[in-house]
Amino acid sequence: MVKFALFALVALIVILMLKQYHPEYALITAICSGGILLIFILLELLRPLEALLDTLTSYGVERGLCDYVIKAAGICIATNFSVGLCADFGQSSLAEKVQMTGKVALLILSLPILQNILEVGFSLL
């Protein structure tokens, strides 16, 4: 995890230096460095996540339900990243709209899970 912190620190220094002379390059550098950092972190999470999914499926949890949870986490991460970028560059109105879009996406994603819960509940009655 130290390499991620060092990468972020170097990116921050470069962005601050660019912001003084070429603000438009600072924006591009911030977006690219944030995206690269996000990709590095997600790649580090693949193996532990696969082990967790294998453990859950061995206990009888459906793989489809686990996929919904992973998709929801991905939506949250992408939304948070986008909102942060918008806020960093003074676009608070856009940040609020991105945040609302993320919430709606989570709501839509949760509908099949809610349907499964209702089916199980009604089958018990």
- The pLDDT of residue 13: 93
Rounded to 10 degrees, what is the CA torsion of 84, 89, 92, 98?
-50
Q: Which helix (H) or strand (E) covers residue 90, if one does? A: none
Domain limits, the chain: 1-44, 62-125
Which regions in the chain score pLDDT beneath 50?
A: none
- The pLDDT of residue 62: 80
Dump pLDDT digits (tens) for 101-119: 999 999 999 998 888 889 8
- The pLDDT of residue 95: 92
Q: Do residues 72 and 111 lie in contact, with contact meaning Cβ atoms separated by under 8 Å? A: no
